[in-house]
Amino acid sequence: GAVVSQHPSWVICKSGTSVKIECRSLDFQATTMFWYRQFPKQSLMLMATSNEGSKATYEQGVEKDKFLINHASLTLSTLTVTSAHPEDSSFYICSARGWTGGFSNQPQHFGDGTRLSIL
């Protein structure tokens, strides 16, 4: 159980285009989803926290107008990289967490990531 699907797994596009990445929880309802960015040989850097039906909370230094997050249902969150440039090239990973009854021990379940390459 606890499967998270991320799509697409790899995308290459030209500078200036916008790219949408989907994150779906397949067998559970995800009240919270998280979006991370990872550079080669480095750890995960949290970009934003997305709660169903409300605005995402962005980490310091992450441009909310650049990285648009929508969490319209309990099983789907999307990250749109707007007007992408080569410096936005990275590995983007989402994770999902179900309802915990209030305590934070519930683990996050991760998607397989999206490799974004901007030419």
Partner 1 sequence: TQLLEQSPQFLSIQEGENLTVYCNSSSVFSSLQWYRQEPGEGPVLLVTVVTGGEVKKLKRLTFQFGDARKDSSLHITAAQPGDTGLYLCAGPPRDSWGKLQFGAGTQVVVTP
50-69: contacts with partner 1 (CB under 8 A): 57
Rounded CA-CA distance 22/39 in Å is: 20
**∠ CA(12), CA(74), CA(2), 5° rounding?**
75
Instruction: Note whether 107 and 1 are within 8 A (CB).
Output: no
Q: Which stretch binds partner 1 (CB under 8 A): 12-20, 37-45, 63-71, 78-86?
A: 37-45
Spatial distance between the Cα atoms of 92 and 109, rounded to a whole number of angstroms: 14
Nearer to partner 1, 82 or 115 (CB): 115
Q: Decide if residue 18 touches partner 1 (CB under 8 A).
A: no
Sites of contact with partner 1 (CB under 8 A)? 4, 6, 32, 34, 41-44, 46, 49, 57, 91, 93, 95, 97, 100, 104-113, 115
